[in-house]
Structure 1
Amino acid sequence: MVELKQDERLDYLLAEELRIIQSPSVFSFSLDAVLLARFASVPKTRGAIVDLCSGNGVVPLLMSARTKVPIIGVEIQERLYDMAVRSVAYNGLGEQIRMVHGDLKQSPQQLGKEKYTLVTCNPPYFLTPSQNEMNANEHFAIARHEIMCTLEDCIVSASQLLKQGGKAAFVHRPGRLLDIVTLMRTYRLEPKRIRFVYPKAGNKEANTVLVEGIKDGAADLKILPPLFVYDDKGEYTDEVRTLLYGDEPPFLRR
């Protein structure tokens, strides 16, 4: 059994055959989290992973189905941290996943510098919100806006946590791509793989970008094929359906 509080519900992570606690008034994960968890170069049996801005623990839960290595999720909001802890326990993953309630800017000092094989991060996308946005829902404002951390904070912490040759994967908006690449190179994370995500094929602009880099890696950037979320009928494309519901396509296998 799992304890659900207030308006929480227990949802399925279908491809991974796991369950996750969510709340419409506090936090529900988006497709971006699924894309990040499947895009990142997850080590299979050796190493360790840190997920920054972990929310309700969705990325650690998703990655746990692809690896046996330890995963640490870092989340600053106590309510989301608590939801993640209970989801991890419900799925019997307490020996693999450990959630930490804290500020990601302190993570290198708390968790250890240059120890980790992979760092993932789904950071806040937008700049500081208006007071009205803050008053409307503090949880959403913190998750979406650079209130508790900036993009630079996320990249600095990722670099400090990673051992040499370790990888960092981020999901963000294409409008921040130059900021992401510039900051990654500033802090020793050489961009190696980029993939743009589009709502659908045609004249729609990309609305999401996935970026992975290697600490102290050599310059050799690959632009991967685009990912389209919806087809002409407004339904999920085969690839996105597979990411959500299972049967991983060969393109994403490692």
Structure 2
Amino acid sequence: MVQLREDERLDYLLAEDLRIIQSPSVFAFSLDAVLLSKFVNVPIQKGKLVDLCSGNGIIPLLLSTRTKGSIIGVEIQERLCDMARRSVNYNELSQQIEMIHGDLKEIVKEIGYSKYDVVTCNPPYFPTPSQEEINKNEHYAIARHEIMCNLEDVIRVSSQLLRQGGKAAFVHRPGRLMDILSLMRQYRIEPKRLQFVYPKQNKEANTILIEGIKDGNPDLKVLPPLVVYNEQNEYNPDIRRILYGEQ
């Protein structure tokens, strides 16, 4: 059994035989997190992985279905970290996944430099707005806006965590692509794979997935696009496979 608090619910994790604790007033994962968890290259049998800005643990849980390596999730909001820990325990994954309540800007001192094979992050997308514009829900404001960390923090820390040859993967908005590319190179993560995600055919891309290698050689590959919905507002086959495992 799992203890649920306030308005929490226990949801099925789509294609995976897992459950996750969510709350509409605190946090519910998005398609972006699922896409990142399927996009990143991970070692299958062993390895050390870190997920920054973990929220309720969605990416560590999904990564556990793709690798037998150890996974650390880092989340600054205590309530979200607690939700993630309870989900990890419910799914009997505490031997593989460790959730740390902490600030990613300080996490390298705690878990170590240059020892990880993979770092993932679904970071806050938007610069911090004025007090009038900011979301009144603190949990959503921190998840969406660069209040506790910014893009440079995320990429700098990812580089510090990675061993040479390790991979970092991020999901973000296309408007930040040049910032992401320049910061990745600045911090020795060479961009290697880039994929654009479109809400519909003939619409502008609204999401990017990007992966780089620590001290890798220059050679960026742009993958075929992902289009989320068809004209009937149903998921396209590629997205259905990612979400539900359908062939």
TM-score of the alignment, normalized to the shorter chain, above 0.5: yes
Distance 1:126 1:42 in 2: 28
Number of the residue aligned with 1:31: 31
SS of equivalent to 2:191 = strand
**Do the aligned residues in 1 keep the contact of 2:198 with 2:227 (CA within 8 Å)?**
yes
Number of the residue aligned with 1:235: 234
Aligned length: 247
Distance 2:6 2:169 in 1: 33
* 1:107 maps onto 2:107 in alignment: yes
**Do the aligned residues in 1 keep the contact of 2:128 with 2:134 (CA within 8 Å)?**
no
Distance 1:15 1:246 in 2: 5
Number of the residue aligned with 1:252: none
Report deviation, 1:133.
4.5
Runs (5+) with no aligned partner, structure 1: 250-254
SS of equivalent to 2:128 = coil
1:57-76 equivalences under 5 Å are 57-76=57-76
Number of the residue aligned with 2:158: 158
1:61-210 equivalences under 5 Å are 61-134=61-134, 136-202=136-202, 204-210=203-209
SS of equivalent to 1:85 = helix
**Do the aligned residues in 2 keep the contact of 1:129 with 1:141 (CA within 8 Å)?**
no
SS of equivalent to 1:139 = helix
Bigger shift: residues 130-139 or 73-82: 130-139
Distance 2:133 2:26 in 1: 14
Runs of 4+ with deviation above 4 angstroms: none
Report deviation, 1:135.
6.1
Bigger shift: residues 170-179 or 38-47: 38-47
SS of equivalent to 1:131 = coil
Report deviation, 1:25.
0.5
Distance 1:139 1:216 in 2: 35
SS of equivalent to 1:167 = strand
SS of equivalent to 1:168 = strand
Report deviation, 1:245.
0.7
CA offset digits 1:22-43 (Å, max 9, x no partner): 0000100000000000000011
Which residue type is aligned with residue 99 of structure 1? M
Number of the residue aligned with 2:214: 215
Distance 1:31 1:130 in 2: 27
Report deviation, 1:45.
1.1
Report deviation, 1:130.
2.6
**Do the aligned residues in 2 keep the contact of 1:51 with 1:59 (CA within 8 Å)?**
yes
SS of equivalent to 2:15 = helix
* 1:45 maps onto 2:14 in alignment: no
Which residue type is aligned with residue 77 of structure 2? Q
Structure 1 residues 115, 234: closer, same or farther in 2, change over 3 A?
same
CA offset digits 1:204-233 (Å, max 9, x no partner): 000000000000000000000000000111
CA offset digits 1:149-169 (Å, max 9, x no partner): 000000000000000000000
CA RMSD of aligned residues (A): 1.0
Which residue type is aligned with residue 197 of structure 2? V
Distance 1:31 1:141 in 2: 18
Report deviation, 1:48.
0.6
Structure 1 residues 10, 132: closer, same or farther in 2, change over 3 A?
farther
Structure 1 length as normaliser, TM-score? Answer: 0.95
Number of the residue aligned with 2:243: 244
SS of equivalent to 1:197 = strand
Report deviation, 1:46.
2.2
